[in-house]
A = this chain, B = another copy of it.
């Protein structure tokens, strides 16, 4: 049986739990970081697009297996941030992340965005993540040494759209 992947930009009440499940399953984030991911969903549910966060969910049988969260950087002409992108590890390696990222970029372009920024850690845990961004055309625009913790730099990736 072939699974059908559907992309969805609307945000449902149940997505808060789905985001917690997906982000936790990746094993990449602390409980505090996971709480932040869930709060963005709740904030978006409460305030709508005025919250500044847009979402894209990848559903299989109506259930999210991955998602991305992005939005315009306040007080900039055309810069956007990709705040989160995560795919259930059981579903990784099948292009779900690549599809989500490509669709986010298309949405940013439609909204008048000229570049998309992604921040990530330089830790070994994120090696595959960084390769994923590099393959998708992101280049390292800045590196802040010891930003997250001693020896753990923040890398800022950027892609001109």
A115 at the interface (CB under 8 A from B): yes
Residues of B close to A43: CB separation below 8 A: none
Question: For the complex formed by this chain, how many copies does it contain in all?
Answer: 2
Chain A residues with a Cβ closer than 8 Å to the other chain, count: 27
Once bound together, how far apart are the Cα atoms of A72 and B82, in whole Å? 21
Asked if A144 meets B147 with Cβ closer than 8 Å, knowing A74-B36, A75-B33, A75-B36, the reply is: no
Question: Is the beta-carbon distance between A149 and B78 smaller than 8 angstroms?
Answer: yes
Question: Is the beta-carbon distance between B32 and A149 smaller than 8 angstroms?
Answer: no
Where the two chains meet, the residues of A that have a C-beta atom closer than 8 Å to any C-beta of B are: 30, 32-33, 36, 73-79, 114-115, 117, 141-150, 152, 156, 158
Which of B146, B149, B158 meets A144, CB within 8 Å? B158
